[in-house]
Structure 1
Amino acid sequence: MILTAFLLGACQEKAPEKAAAPMPVEVDIITLEEEPVKLEVELPGRTTAYRVAEVRPQVNGIVKKRLFAEGSEVTAGELLYQIDPASYQARLDSAEAALAKAKAIEYSARLKAERYKTLDRTNAVSEMDLVEIDAGWKQSIADVASAEAALHGARINLDYTEVRAPIAGRIGKSMITEGALVTAQQSAPLAVIQQLNPLYVDVTQSSTELLRLKKDLSVGLLDNGEKTQSDVTILLEDGSEYEQKGSLEFSDLTVDQSTGTITLRAIVANPDENLLPGMFVRARVSKGLKQDAILIPAASLSRNSKGQAVVMLVNAQSTVESRIIDAGRNIGDNVLVNDGLTAGEQLITAGLQKIKQGVTVKAVEQQDALSDQIALKNQPDNSLTPAE
């Protein structure tokens, strides 16, 4: 009887209630927008003097004086060294005397030739004598020209005893002292002059990236405005920005086979000479303006097993959609999207570890994150290196 009562009671128990449906997962999203983005790239480089002149002697002799202060500014044509001029002055005097002698001989030969021409009218001299006298006069004229050339050369050599600055700039240390023997066109310079204002900055860039940039400009993906030269900002070794802006002058015509890079040369004003040749700097080069760029936070992007860039979106049905995109270069904390996303789509930026494709979610707009994205759109491109 007890067992029967128990069984009857169990049959009368109510069936358990059905489990409640789970609440949608809350995720942070941003609505994608197209914004104009100024693309820049930072490239390593070194400064180079605008002009360099190695001062060398053009005559042999003993240096008698050094007439400049090492490390000072010199002007073009300024006297730097004085080589002993005594022997060259003597050669000049000898050349002047030789010229005077040649002119005297020419004068006598000319008078004699004129006299023979007068006598020839009366047949007082033979035709052969007249020819010989006229030839002797013309030879004396040539001797005068030769003596004048020798005098001119002697004067040039005397002038070369004064070694002058070929360009204006800052001169370095002197490689010789008074009393030193120097020779014409010697390999070792007496001193080196460098023009430091303006200054060159030589940087290197991947040849692949340079070709990509030219292609983007040709098809209209990038807008370079009416400028024919790109703006360049110089960053010093301590990370500070140099106050003077530069411009890109040219790119080399040959690719370095060992590194696959090409040299770019920028020119920058250096009025206070704060930049010196050989300094390591970074050049921020403007590449153009992408009018319809889409930036996404780098944290919202992941990679699949094939290395493809993957993002999570919220579609019109409030469910999660996984999509493979073509991710470009990093710009600050964001990533430039080349293809795969359009303006107006909702990108999931937080809560990715709690969701998967097809899950229903509750989207919460991140206004602050979107503002940060727009504010960072002009940050330089740090993803590219010369070795890329």
Structure 2
Amino acid sequence: MSGLHRSYRWLAGGVFGMAAMAVVSVALAQQMPAMPVTVANPVSRKIVETAEFTGRFQAWPSVNITSRVTGYLDKASFLEGSLVKQGDVLFSIDPRPFQAAVDQAAAQVKIAQTRIDLTKANLARAEELKKSGNVTDATYQSNLQAYQEAAASIDAANAALATAKLDLNYATIAAPISGKISRQLVSRGNLVAANGSQPLATIVAVDPMYFYFDFDEASYLSYRRADKGKADAAGVDPAAKVEIALSDEKTFSHQGTLDYLDPQVDAQTGTVTARAKIANPDGFLTSGLFGRIRIALGEPYEALVVPDVAVGQSSQGRYVTVIVDKKATIRPVEIGPKIGTFRVIKNGLKPEDAVLINGQMRARPGSEVIPQPTKLDVPDPLLPDAN
């Protein structure tokens, strides 16, 4: 064992062991031959800090199709699982009882009209006779009352006819919204009740689709502060874009906008429910799908970036190794977000610094190295999906 190593062992056991270890480590590094390492200057790029959350797609609106009249289901006129348009005929209730009710109500209108014509003629004759004094007031009042009752009865008959026609119209059930329809839930021949609890089918809208997720409190505050002055009455910036990736996607390829923030923070979870709206013209997105959403939390800013592998972690915090006069030097840094394979450095580096990006095991603090400069290939702009 060399004298230097014996000194190292003795010092490590003393009260000054830790400081001595550092000194000896530098001494050992100085004894090692200079090794080649790869260095590069940090690159300045415009950065947008983002946050990612998980959530699920949900269709809105969603409508349960029920019958407004009671009758026997006659037929269904749609393909299960297909897209339907507002106004498309979906179901038909047996119309014969409703048609009979219309015919009966129409007959009552005719009867009422005949009665009103008769009472009107009798009232006219009574008025002429009253002028000549050939009819009593009691007879005149009787004719007037009969006419008024006939006039009221025709109003009631017309109302009954309108109701019967409305029921006949309700026997044909049309789609109230456009969207994708479920399977048929009640088969032909069954008696369906008016406004029954069992729906005949369900329609869910497909375009646009909505994505619900929960903001954590810190991200929510960052978003609100960044969008201060640009938010609408709902508290969201209508021009701010969001990006969504499905569970089998690595990139955030679906674009949308944030359109709703819950007015209060959930005290139990410390989160705020939020909603994004995404165009879905081809109907690919389906209610219930899981996804990840990415939201910008502030304005773009200029910052230096280095490969994430160049950033180390110690008990004192994050650092990078900088080569100064061919010697390795530890430089504490304040880091920002990781974007692809690059790490944002908010503080601690200058553009001209030679940062060690390869060969960390050959560059102990204080050791002499042979720097081999290279140029970082950083996309411009540096987007979150950059690799």
> Is the structural similarity TM-score above 0.5?
yes
Q: Is the 8 A contact 1:331 1:376 kept in 2?
A: no
CA distance in 1, matches of 2:324, 2:245: 44
Of the candidates 262, 286, 293, which is equivalent to residue 273 of structure 2?
A: 262
Change (3 A) 1:196 1:216: closer
Distance 1:62-1:343 versus aligned 2 partners, 3 A rule? same
Q: What secondary structure sits across from 1:140 in the alignment? A: helix
Letter in 1 for 2:94: D
Q: Offset of 1:215 from its aligned partner? A: 2.0
Counterpart CA distance in 2 for 1:381 and 1:41 is 16
Displacement after TM superposition at 1:97 (Å): 1.8
Give the counterpart of 1:216 among 200, 222, 226.
Answer: 226
Q: How many angstroms apart in 1 are the aligned matches of 2:328 and 2:189?
A: 90
Once the two structures are superposed, the pairs formed by residues 104-253 of structure 1 within 5 Å of their partners are 104-125=114-135, 130-131=140-141, 133-218=143-228, 228-239=238-249, 245-253=254-262
Q: Quick one: which of 360, 374, 380 aligns to 1:367? A: 374
- Measured after TM superposition, the shift of residue 318 of structure 1 is 7.3
Deviations 1:301-326 (A, max 9, x none): 344436x434455679978364352x
Determine the structure 1 residue equivalent to 2:20: none
Query: d(CA) in 1 for partners of 2:332 and 2:344?
Result: 16
Check the 8 A contact 2:109/2:157 in 1, yes or no. Answer: yes
CA shift for structure 1 position 174: 0.8
Unaligned ranges ≥5, structure 2: 1-29, 231-236
CA distance in 2, matches of 1:283, 1:355: 41
Report the alpha carbon displacement of residue 350 of structure 1 after superposing the two structures with TM: 5.0
Give the root-mean-square deviation of aligned CA atoms: 3.7
The total of aligned residue pairs comes to: 348
Alignment match of 1:336 (pick from 339, 344, 352)? 344
Amino acid at match of 1:371: D
Matches for 1:270-281 after TM superposition, within 5 Å: 270-271=281-282, 273-281=283-291
Partner deviation per Cα, 1:58-78 (whole Å, 9 max, x = no partner): 111111223333233433323
Q: Contact 1:70 / 1:171 at 8 angstroms: preserved in 2?
A: yes
Is the contact between residue 226 and residue 297 of structure 2 (CA under 8 Å) also seen in structure 1?
Answer: no
Q: Which residue of 1 aligns with 2:88?
A: 78
8 Å Cα contact 1:46/1:279 also seen in 2: yes
Structure 1 residue 57 displacement after superposition: 0.9
- The answer on whether the counterparts of 1:246 and 1:269 sit within 8 Å (CA) in structure 2 is no
Structure 1 178/255 Cα, relative in aligned 2: closer, same or farther at 3 Å?
A: same
More divergent stretch after superposition (335-344 vs 167-176): 335-344
- Please list, as runs of the form range in 1=range in 2, the aligned pairs for 1:10-25 lying within 5 A after superposition: none
Aligned-pair CA distance for 1:84:
2.0
Identity %: 22
> For the structure 1 residues 304 and 118, does the alpha-carbon distance in structure 2 shift closer, same or farther, using more than 3 Å as the test?
farther
Q: 1:233 offset after TM fit, Å?
A: 4.2
Q: Which position in structure 2 is the counterpart of 1:4?
A: none
* Aligned residue in 1 for 2:311: 301
Q: Which secondary structure does the structure 2 equivalent of 1:193 belong to?
A: strand
Cα separation, partners in 2 of 1:207 and 1:142, compared to 1, 3 Å: farther
How far 1:262 moved relative to its partner?
2.6
- Distance (Å, rounded) in 2 between the aligned partners of 1:219 and 1:50: 29
Q: Quick check: 1:174–1:190 contact (8 Å CA) kept in 2? A: yes
Residues 313, 322 of structure 1: 8 Å contact kept: yes
Any conservation in 2 of the 1:252–1:262 contact (CA below 8 Å)? yes
- Report the Cα distance in structure 1 between the residues aligned to 2:68 and 2:226, rounded to whole angstroms: 53
**Distance (Å, rounded) in 2 between the aligned partners of 1:68 and 1:321:** 71
TM-score with structure 1 setting the length: 0.74
- CA pair 77-322 structure 1, distance change in 2 beyond 3 A: closer
